Structures are given as structure tokens and as C-alpha cells.
Amino acid sequence: MNEQPKYTDFHPRWFRRRMSTYWWLKRWSYVMFILRELSSVFIAWSIVFLLLLTRAVSQGQEGYEQFLAWSKNPVVVGLNVISLLFVGFHAVTWFNLAPKAMVVRLRGRRVPALWIAGSNYAAWALVSALVAWLILGG
Amino acid sequence: MADRIILQVTRYRPEDEAQPTFREYEVPCPKEWVVLDGLNYVKDHLDGTLSHRWSCRMGICGSCGMTVNGEPKLTCATFLSDYAPGPVRVEPLANFPIIRDLVVEIGDFMQKLAHVKPWIIRQEEKPLSEGEYQQTPEELDAYKQYSMCINCMLCYAACPVYGLDPKFLGPAAIALAQRYNLDSRDQGEKERMELLSQHEGIWGCTFVGDCTKACPKNVDPAGAIQRYKLKAALAWLKDIFVPRGAK
Ligand code: SF4
Ligand code: FES
């Protein structure tokens, strides 16, 4: 809705409670909410990191080695570990959301949420295994 | 079990005080009493100035929603004995302005409900002579869950996004839009999509999921919103990738 909610006008006696600065600590689900909002920073970082890697590769052997040396820096490693955790957290949120977003009916019955989430996790594992095989084995 | 329990009730009398305060009342606590019975006992026997809303006492009218020990609850469906030995804190629903005591202002919610066009929209009405629009049990099942909403606003009280940004359309209004979109007789999905795919519509939701936990009618508004997001995203993709003529 684009308009300002109308109830705020002309009623000085209605008491509007303010959410305290620490409202998000009151409940586990609210903490998760704030963490998800915060994670965007780390997701952005992992994209920047990927772009830097691409640039380094395009600069040939020397550039790539410089990049590798720089990524060994404990600060960069730490940042990447945190980013990985956040990306994992996002993936889990996403897979738990999938059965809510996809309502699949088979022979008139709704397919149980567990199946949909399960098949998403299975696909995730499969793709990860494939990528790992490509990089490490292939 | 103790046969009496203390209620700590929010009082706000705008003509005399600048902020809400708490007042304690001791009420009987037989095992069949709900929080609403306790409040009615206060009103009838202890303090007639207490204001609170209720009507059906059976989880149908949706008017008795309050915050009980920090959780949004229908007070007619929340047993006092579950909180024994007490005290039980009864506050107005969160995220809404307080008018007096336990009564909150719901005009914003009412506007939002109407905003999503919650009625059957037809491009063309068929003539009366052709009879009613019939529906199979499966077609009814497709939207029945969303039609169970009693507009109690517990989901709005549970939603931190609504608390932070009152412009957010909110769980029940979006679930209500879905109720009509999924109705086989309705043809208004496109019109509603324009209203709902805005930032303050479905995209405001970040899937906290507390609306669904708070809902006394198992409407699952969080699910309704995620379904809508998927649909909006697919429609957007289709707009980009399918050439105009082919649609
Ligand atoms: S969706 Fe559930 S919690 Fe929200 S108003 Fe409807 S019945 Fe109440
Ligand atoms: S009094 Fe009607 S829902 Fe509680």
C-alpha cells in the first residue's frame, strides 16, 4: 500500500507503542529474521570475492597466484567462512520455504511437505557432489 | 491447583494518563475458565471501568485477541489454568495503537482487507438463467483453508515486519487475496496481483513464520505469502522470456 496508513492522523490520544531497540532479541524467530537481513552483506561479499577471482584468473598465472596468496590472509579466510555459514543458512531457509511455496497435488492429494523439502535437499546434495567431483576429481 | 489466579491487566485511560499502566486483579480459576472469563469477572465484579472486546466466546468472531504472557492469543480459547499458579499478564494486541485498556485501533487492518478486493471478480457475469457457478469438492479444497480466517489479527501482532513498517499489507490480507485467487469462480487474480506484487505487498515478508504459529484457525498465512511470491516471480520471468505474441 502506498498511502500512509490513515489511522495515524488526528488521534493524539491513541497510544502508539514503540518497538524497543532490542525487540529482535525477544524471540528466536526474530533473531533469525535479523540474521537473515544481516546476511545480505556477506552474500554481497561472496559475489565480490567471486568477481575478484574471475579478474585474477583473466590476468594470467601471476595475477592468480597473487590472488591465492591474498586469500590465505586470515581475515579473508575468516570472512569467507562466515559467508559460507550465512549462505548455508540461506539455503536451509529456502528449502524449508519450498514446500510452502509449492503446492503440488498428486491424485487429488497434497504432496507432503517433507517430500518436497527432501527432494530439494537431495538435488542440492547431488549438485554439490557433482561440482566437488568436477573440481577435485575431474 | 490454586483456585485463584492474579491477572496483570493493561489499563490505559487517555483522559487521565499519558501511558498505559498495569493493574492486578485476583480472579477465580476453575479449570474450565479461559482468560476472557477472568476479564469478564473483573468487569462484572471488581472494576466496571475495564474495557475489552469480545463477542462469541467460541473462537469465531475474532474480536477477543490480546497478548497473554507475551503471546498473541484468542482470550476465549486460552485457559487460565494453563498459566497456574500465575500471574497472567494480559495486554492489548501488539503492533496496533491502543484506544483504551485492552482495546486497539483496527481501522488500518480493515482498510487493508478491503484493499485486496476480497470478493469474486468476474470478467463477465453469466446470465441468471444459466444457474449458479458450481464447484467440485476439490475446487473447494483449493481455497478452503484460507477461507477459515476470522480476522482476529493475531498474525499482525506476531509479525515484526508489520510492527516495523505499518504499510506492510500483512498476513491475513494476503491470505484473503489468495482465498479468492484460488477460487475456481474468480477471475480477478491479475487485478490483485498488481496490488500485491508491490514492495509493501508480498515482498515485505521475509518469512519469519510467526503469523502461521499464532493463527488459531490454521490458515497458514506465511504459506499463502510464499505461494504468492513464487507465482509473482514466475509471472515476472514469463514477462521477460516469453515473446509478447506467444502469450
Ligand atoms: S490469518 Fe489466522 S491469525 Fe490472521 S487474522 Fe486470520 S485467523 Fe487470525
Ligand atoms: S470472543 Fe469471539 S473469538 Fe474470542
Q: Answer yes or no: do B92 and B49 share one domain.
A: yes
Distance of CA B48 to the CA centre of its chain: 28
Nearest to A14 among B98, B111, B226 (CB): B98
CA of B75 to the centre of ligand 2 (A): 7
Interface predicted TM-score (ipTM): 0.79
CA of B104 to the centre of ligand 2 (A): 15
Place of cell 586469500: A71
Q: Locate the DSSP E strands across chain B.
A: 4-11, 21-28, 65-68, 71-74, 88-91, 98-100, 103-104
Q: Answer yes or no: do A48 and A94 share one domain.
A: yes
Rounded to whole angstroms, the Cα distance separating B48 from B62 reads 23
Residues of chain A contacting residue B14, judged by C-beta atoms under 8 Å apart: 13-15
CA of A32 to the centre of ligand 1 (A): 23
Of the ranges B67-76, B159-168, B196-205, which one carries the lowest mean pLDDT score? Answer: B196-205
Please check the confidence at residue B1 and state whether its pLDDT lies above 70. no
Work out how many domains chain A is built from and give that number: 2
Q: Answer yes or no: do A36 and A84 share one domain.
A: yes
Rounded to whole angstroms, the Cα distance separating B74 from B152 reads 8
* Cβ contact B105–A103 (<8 Å): no
| Residues A70, A76 contacting (CB under 8 angstroms) | yes
Question: What is the per-residue pLDDT for B245?
Answer: 61
Nearest to A7 among B108, B213, B230 (CB): B108
Instruction: Tell me the average pLDDT of chain A.
Output: 84
Percent of chain A with pLDDT over 90: 30
Give a yes or no: residue A19 inside a domain.
Answer: no
C-alpha cell at A117: 523439502
Please check the confidence at residue B246 and state whether its pLDDT lies above 70. no
Interval A67-80: pLDDT, tens: 989 999 999 999 99
Q: Answer yes or no: do A76 and A48 share one domain.
A: yes
Question: For residues B80-91, b (16+ Cβ closer than 10 Å) or e, as one string?
Answer: bbebeebebbbb
Helix (H, G, I), strand (E, B) or coil at A120: helix
Give a yes or no: residue B64 inside a domain.
Answer: yes
A15: which DSSP letter?
B
Rounded to whole angstroms, the Cα distance separating A128 from A118 reads 15
Give a yes or no: residue B246 inside a domain.
Answer: no
Q: Answer yes or no: do A34 and A95 share one domain.
A: yes
Question: What is the per-residue pLDDT for A2?
Answer: 44
Q: Answer yes or no: do B170 and B78 share one domain.
A: no
Which ligand is located closest to the Cα atom of residue B39? 2
pTM across the whole model = 0.86
Q: Answer yes or no: do A59 and A118 share one domain.
A: no
| Residues B204, B169 contacting (CB under 8 angstroms) | yes
Q: Answer yes or no: do B172 and B136 share one domain.
A: yes
Work out how many domains chain B is built from and give that number: 2
Q: Answer yes or no: do A122 and A69 share one domain.
A: no
Give a yes or no: residue A5 inside a domain.
Answer: no
Q: Whose CA is nearest to atom 1 of ligand 2?
A: B57
Between A106 and B174, residue with greater pLDDT = B174
Domain that holds residue A90: 24-101
Domain that holds residue B88: 4-104
Q: Answer yes or no: do B162 and B150 share one domain.
A: yes
Q: Whose CA is nearest to atom 7 of ligand 1?
A: B149
